[in-house]
Chains A and B, each alone.
Chain A
Amino acid sequence: MLTSLEAVVLAGTFVLLLIAISKVPISHLARQFAIALIFILFAALSMLLYRGWENALIIGLRISACVLALLLMVTTTPFFKMIKAMRWMHIPKLMASLLMFTYRFIFLLLDEMDRMRLARQARGFTGGRSLLDKRALRTIANTIGMTFVRANARATNIYDALLMRGYSGEIRDFERLKTKPRDVIFAVCFGMVVALTLSVELGVLTWT
Chain B
Amino acid sequence: MDVIRLEGVSFRYPDGRLALEDLSVSMAPGERVALVGPNGAGKSTLLHIMAGLFVPSAGKAVVKGVELNRKSAPEVRRHVGLMFQDPDDQIFMPSVWEDVAFGPTNYGLPEDEVRRRVVEAMRMTGIEGFEERVPHRLSLGEKKRVAMAGLLTMSPDLLLLDEPTANLDPQGRREFVEILEKRNEAIVIATHDLSVAFHLAKRVLVLKTKLLYDGDVFGLIQDRKVLREARLELPSFSRLIQRWAEETGKEFRPPATVDEALEILRHNYCCRDQGAKHEH
- Name A residues whose Cβ lies closer than 8 Å to a Cβ of B: 78-80, 104, 107-108, 154, 157-158, 160-168, 171-175
Contacts and interface: CB of A to CB of B under 8 A. Distances in A.
13 contacts: A79-B94, A80-B93, A108-B88, A158-B92, A160-B51, A160-B53, A160-B89, A163-B77, A164-B51, A164-B80, A171-B102, A172-B106, A174-B97
B48 A160 contact: yes
Interface of B: 48, 51, 53, 74, 77-78, 80-82, 84, 86, 88-90, 92-94, 97-98, 101-103, 105-108, 111, 114, 136, 150-151, 154
B77 to A, nearest CB: 6
Given A79-B94, A108-B88, A164-B53, 17 more contacts: A157-B86, A158-B92, A160-B48, A161-B82, A161-B90, A161-B92, A162-B92, A163-B53, A164-B82, A165-B103, A165-B106, A166-B103, A166-B107, A168-B74, A174-B101, A174-B111, A175-B111
B106 A164 contact: no
A165 B156 CA distance: 11
SS class of chain A's interface: helix, strand, loop or mixed?
helix
Nearest to B97: A174
A167 B80 contact: no
B84 A166 contact: no
A175 B101 CA distance: 10
Contacts of A154: 89
Contacts of A165: 102-103, 106, 150-151, 154
A74 to B, nearest CB: 15
Contacts of B92: 104, 158, 161-162
A161 B89 contact: yes
B89 A174 contact: no
Contacts of B103: 165-166
A104 B84 CA distance: 18
A174 B53 contact: no
Contacts of A79: 94
A157 B136 CA distance: 17
A174 B105 contact: yes
B170 to A, nearest CB: 26
A160 B82 CA distance: 9
A98 B130 CA distance: 27
A174 B48 contact: no
Given A80-B94, A160-B48, A161-B84, A166 B89 contact: no
A157 B154 contact: no
A171 B101 CA distance: 11
A163 B48 CA distance: 12
Given A80-B94, A157-B86, A164 B105 contact: no
Nearest to A164: B82
A171 B154 CA distance: 16
A49 to B, nearest CB: 46
B77 A164 contact: yes
Given A78-B94, A163-B77, A157 B105 contact: no
A165 B103 CA distance: 5
